Structure 1
């Protein structure tokens, strides 16, 4: 009698007699197939390690998270692999990296077997998992010359896929961060995720491609994210960090499964050595995310925040209506595909949104229900994407200084600063959406007609006080810029009309060809009828 330990979930320990290898063909159950396989491999002397068993149910969701880390076009084959290891205690861990970030998953249950580690190509493992049922398990076996096997149940038999992987010694060393982890509260986690959506995506501005945890003020720590056009900040945190952090923006941190895997904990590497790179670890119950901090220094973001005491007009929206207003903003027509310009108007009685479909159309006015306001009349324009995002974050109050100063939307300790879109000329007409609504000229409209304005131009992110007023610019330059803008718009409109005319000509030509074919068919029918003899 020989005892063989199998790794199939249905037969962890099975005694199998010395087989006589009776090759009578008969169906084998999944359990019998695995017993036969492991016994034969043991007798051949090829069974060098206990296979690493992975449940498909956990792998299906885990591979989705690893795909956000593994680079798709890397020239290093080792980065296209998962490192799978079984620890001394039996825990099975899977790791992926792009050299700057490391993501590790620990499976729910430990397994029996000696410590082992190997590399498996991610694409090969993903293809096998897609073909397996969620109740199945796959088994990894190390082979000679790094030709590993991925084995799985296949209709009561054993399916096997061979994969070639680099040696496990070539895999980058996983950083180890010592120290006590800091619990991340739910409010801090949500602030990091909200600020991350406002971070920059431009590779030429590395410090802005992440979230700054600003601890420069001992009484109030901030979480800040900006791309130079809008800025989000949240305060009222007290964190045990001595220096500010720059958390890189990464889609894995916003991944749903990672956010639903329990409370976050954060650790920062020792910063005593100024030359060493600072690493950051964010871990949940089963996942661990290690990344390097962004290079450079985060700018002094507080200089871009307008002084709240300077706001003259305050608009208050109903919290229950924010989602509905955000949906309306996203569905409104837009004449400016680049800057997504939308207007906000307070006329002393009601708060309204201004929109139009074509640049030459008058502005349509849509009232916001139950919105209130105080202060002088004002009309300001901004990017609808930022305004909609602020409403989705639950910011209910809008503070306005004037038509060219940044908007400040806030609620409690959270705020978003949005740079306005500057439009040349004033709002001449506001077309009401319903006959019952009337329109009027704004206080900034001119009495004499103005030429068609060119496309809006966005303000830069620096504080608006540094922007020179319009009357200080040379009149000749303004006239030249205006003429160039009008000429550009005329050329664009002419090209659009030529394209429309070309499409109409092609349609007419196609219809003429169809008519000629129909006429030829009628002629052929008539000729065939004339040949008939009665």
Structure 2
């Protein structure tokens, strides 16, 4: 006897599939990863789960339902197509069919239509982790800082340890959230979390999904692991649960690259309520440099200005930087306008500048972003002169170095056959630390990927073998039928 069908209201199913779709791997070699596990618990709650093996996302529907507990697997694509063609007030009813399919019933005028979709035994779905730990409340400021740190993290897979946000708990009095890609770095402090070791949360688009962030306050759970490896982190809201594997490895010593605030010789301060106007002004400025997106910031004769070019051959055009107060020494410095816009969109209203070649520090309270200056094209150095330039104008520099290129000026270098990287690069003190952890992290990541590939191939072989066995059984049944026929 089949159990009571599971009923999924379309009004809840559409947003649920939008979130689960951020985890589903449409091109996965494992067909089971393209399915959703739909489960009715012993308490009557209806839960839908998707996974890509490294992450699990579960959503619970608003109301419990009657019926005994059971689960089945439904292809995501089939369920999404059926949901898209249904009305908001409709429902989709699921019940098991044969061992190889599942039955989906849907509203069709005044009756129920029926379709079947291929399925798999529930046992083939990866086991959903259960983290037994006390939940840690997540404040709104922490959630905002996490998104900002993720936005500054690296997307380079060869630098796996930088592909996420680090929760640094090395200083008990002030925990930090940090993210960097080697060209800019974001950090935020004033947190106090009950974690014994620092951890790195991998970046994923689900964390920035609007519905997940609007589904109530977040809570975190962390698996207990003495060696700190293969740990899982759970972030849950009112109805959603996101479980991810943490990044193994040691995060670079990012504090070494933060400029000392006392070293700033020029300080620019923008009015917080006028940031949108400044952002719109920068977005309207022509961009002559598609590679480095260079934009100049000047402070001369008690006036702040922005410098840009309409084309690479054109002279620099300067316009006043509105709503800006400045103090300190005159300076001209060039930055990547994309990073400048990001810092302003984060609401960082104060800019500390040491000199033309040192990193800029954007900050507000305990939040800060460190950005490396760039060097625009030097083909027309005379273009750097303003209509009424001061006697000593900073020459226009050329392309930006990255974190990997910088070495501390005070650190002696060993003889090498290759030329030493320039000293005027951002966050160069991370050079040695990054090289060491990247080498270890890359080896670990490659090993993990190979193991996962082997597992994927074995699962694929298992699926193929099951399909062959099924065809063989069908063929045998046909042969038996032919043997019983009489002419």
Tell me the TM-score range normalised by the shorter chain. 0.7 to 0.9
Give yes or no for the alignment of 1:457 onto 2:410.
Answer: no
TM-score normalised by the chain length of structure 1: 0.74
Separation in 2, partners of 1:132, 1:457: 54
What is the match of residue 439 of structure 1?
Answer: 388
Higher mean displacement: 331-340 or 119-128: 331-340
Alignment counterpart, residue 110 of structure 1, candidates 46, 64, 67: 64
- SS of 2:88 mapped into structure 1: coil
What is the match of residue 357 of structure 1?
Answer: 310
CA offsets 1:410-465 (integer angstroms, 9 cap, x no match) = 01100000011024659634688xxxxx432562457xxxxxx9x93112226967
What displacement does 1:467 show? Answer: 5.6
What is the match of residue 163 of structure 1?
Answer: 117
What is the match of residue 99 of structure 2?
Answer: 145
Separation in 2, partners of 1:443, 1:431: 10
Question: Do the aligned partners of residues 230 and 365 (structure 1) sit closer, same or farther apart at CA in structure 2, a change above 3 Å counting?
Answer: same
Separation in 2, partners of 1:465, 1:403: 18
8 Å CA contact 1:310, 1:401 repeated in 2: yes
Alignment counterpart, residue 384 of structure 1, candidates 337, 354, 373: 337
Give yes or no for the alignment of 1:415 onto 2:368.
Answer: yes
Separation in 2, partners of 1:377, 1:441: 9
- For residues 54-93 of structure 1, the aligned pairs below 5 Å read 54-93=8-47
- SS of 1:252 mapped into structure 2: helix
- For residues 16-415 of structure 1, the aligned pairs below 5 Å read 48-272=2-226, 274=227, 276-415=229-368
- SS of 1:421 mapped into structure 2: coil
8 Å CA contact 2:385, 2:393 repeated in 1: no
What is the match of residue 443 of structure 2?
Answer: none
Give yes or no for the alignment of 1:466 onto 2:408.
Answer: yes
What displacement does 1:326 show? Answer: 1.2
Aligned residues: 411
Separation in 2, partners of 1:275, 1:341: 42
- SS of 1:297 mapped into structure 2: coil
Separation in 1, partners of 2:391, 2:175: 42
Separation in 2, partners of 1:443, 1:360: 23
CA offsets 1:203-223 (integer angstroms, 9 cap, x no match) = 111111000010000111100
Separation in 1, partners of 2:229, 2:184: 32
Separation in 2, partners of 1:55, 1:445: 65
What displacement does 1:137 show? Answer: 0.7
Separation in 2, partners of 1:424, 1:111: 66
Separation in 2, partners of 1:383, 1:181: 40
Higher mean displacement: 91-100 or 364-373: 364-373
CA offsets 1:67-115 (integer angstroms, 9 cap, x no match) = 1101121000000000001011111110000000000001110000011
8 Å CA contact 1:405, 1:464 repeated in 2: no
> Unmatched 5+ residue regions in structure 2?
411-418, 420-487
Separation in 1, partners of 2:377, 2:315: 15
> Unmatched 5+ residue regions in structure 1?
1-46, 433-437, 447-452, 469-476, 478-534
What displacement does 1:295 show? Answer: 2.2
- SS of 1:466 mapped into structure 2: coil
Separation in 2, partners of 1:194, 1:445: 32
Question: Do the aligned partners of residues 398 and 134 (structure 1) sit closer, same or farther apart at CA in structure 2, a change above 3 Å counting?
Answer: same
Question: Do the aligned partners of residues 318 and 235 (structure 1) sit closer, same or farther apart at CA in structure 2, a change above 3 Å counting?
Answer: same
8 Å CA contact 1:380, 1:403 repeated in 2: yes
What displacement does 1:147 show? Answer: 1.3
- SS of 2:291 mapped into structure 1: coil
What is the match of residue 453 of structure 2?
Answer: none
Structure with greater Cα Rg = 1
8 Å CA contact 1:429, 1:441 repeated in 2: no
Higher mean displacement: 260-269 or 422-431: 422-431
8 Å CA contact 1:150, 1:160 repeated in 2: yes
Question: Do the aligned partners of residues 363 and 442 (structure 1) sit closer, same or farther apart at CA in structure 2, a change above 3 Å counting?
Answer: farther
What displacement does 1:157 show? Answer: 1.9
Greater RCO, 1 or 2 (C-alpha within 8 Å, sep 6+): 2
8 Å CA contact 2:375, 2:399 repeated in 1: yes
What is the match of residue 425 of structure 2?
Answer: none
Structure 1 runs (4+) deviating above 2 angstroms are 422-432, 462-468
- SS of 1:294 mapped into structure 2: coil
Question: Do the aligned partners of residues 151 and 105 (structure 1) sit closer, same or farther apart at CA in structure 2, a change above 3 Å counting?
Answer: same
